[in-house]
A and B are shown apart, each in its own frame.
Chain A
């Protein structure tokens, strides 16, 4: 296993003329939970999407589990990966989206088994058993045959987490997983994420839940305007921010 699960150096990204990321660094050892907070438009979601190559970076380097994201290094040259290779690398990285993005035409269990069966070509009986186990873990055993439209947002997001976990990822990315939920449903999703962290999953979580970042996070990054303004132990950053911008942001959200 590589020393770092994720290593990003001087990552730059622009959309047209707008520079969204202006040199972001990040190191995530295996088993760590890193939370990224910051105002909207700060580039935190874009940065997360760069890690599994949903966005292509313009400059800098991102490595996941020792491999370059989107490229292959041979000698002193790097080669762009083919579409197939990009897809293969993504198998090891789970992602949970703000708007769940469950497949609406498939039932809960079909959503979960889709990847392992169609992408990893695993045995259906075994995958279904694993899917049931995951559903039990996220507390939705009785919803196995429901369609996503009949579930609440919090239930859908827990299914989305189960769908990502069914691929047995080494790394989980969470893109504002609770931002689209009613306040009373946030707790269930955060609970699932917390137990995932306790099981030793490496996680990068873009969130507005300061409480979750403080209690579950091993490391906290505050991003603003495309740069990591401040980083460190979540308790220190939250209770005693060193930068004025961090202080201003925290005073608004706490």
Chain B
């Protein structure tokens, strides 16, 4: 488009200059880089295909086995559920931290301090072993009579420990991400919304958060990918997910490396899918912030193909 405009202008003025014919700049560094990287890639591929200890056929044999698929499903469920807890609680904490009420701000700050300041694995183990600290949990009057008492391990089975550990930890990180998003939206937006009579909650929901999403989505995508991998820590709760299922197999057949590589391939595959999802979510929230959205990779390919067809 732009090119034809320039041509039109030249035509109108009757002065189309000749195309520049200069000797192009050489890039010897690029060729060196190509050589080095090609060498490393060749070495890598060589070992992957010739080293029999990778046991590709064994990996393939387990890749879609019932045990592994169950592990993959659980890993996905844990990721989705923990992120849901993390995002929901994170938004609440972020709004609390920006509140005018100093007690509320302080409470949110304390939460983030505790849950961001201790390792996730430690938190998971604490949730899993809560029964050692509080053998029973109950509902009742504080410091008084309890109406409802149960054994802790019945209330917090390992799946709950996993979700609490992952979700509550994630909330601390999400809170900071959401807060960054909220403060990235100009004050004028909240003022304009207030001037048409909106109340604070509605301003947050209808005006500030949708715009904050542009800043919130990319790091949240990171967090989701990070969460997918963090679910492997749940193997120590213990709760059966992809890593645990993999360990179950290799403790019986001692094929540690092939099965760990197989698990890595699964993690990589899911991560790649998540990246595609993130791309489209980001695009959705870019609405209105750019005059024209760039084409998606798929659209680019389609455009190229159709252009090719026309030329032929």
Contact = CB atoms under 8 A, between A and B. Distances in A.
Contacts of A40: none
Interface string A36-55: 00000000000000001010
Given A103-B192, A104-B288, A104-B289, A118 B202 contact: yes
A148 interface: yes
B195 A95 contact: yes
A228 interface: no
Contacts of B197: 87-88, 90-91, 115, 119-120, 167
A94 interface: yes
Interface residues of B, number: 24
A105 B195 contact: no
A93 B202 CA distance: 18
Contacts of A13: none
Interface in A139-154: 147-150
Contacts of A87: 194, 197-199
Q: How large is the interface on A (under 10, 10 to 19, 20 to 34, 35 or more residues)?
A: 20 to 34
Given A99-B188, A101-B189, A114-B206, A149 B291 contact: yes
B288 A54 contact: no
Given A105-B210, A147-B287, A97 B188 contact: yes
Central interface residue in A87, A90, A164, A167, by most chain B CB within 10 Å: A87
Contacts of B283: none
A106 B285 CA distance: 11
A252 interface: no
A109 interface: no
A74 interface: no
Contacts of B291: 147, 149-150
Contact of B195 (A88, A99, A164): A164
Interface in B134-151: none
B10 interface: no
Contacts of A94: 195-196
Contacts of A148: 288
Contacts of A119: 196-198, 202
A84 interface: yes
A80 to B, nearest CB: 14
Given A101-B186, A105-B285, 10 more contacts: A54-B194, A87-B194, A94-B195, A101-B188, A103-B193, A105-B211, A119-B198, A120-B197, A147-B291, A148-B288
Interface of A: 52, 54, 83-84, 87-88, 90-91, 93-95, 97, 99, 101-107, 114-115, 118-120, 147-150, 160, 163-164, 167
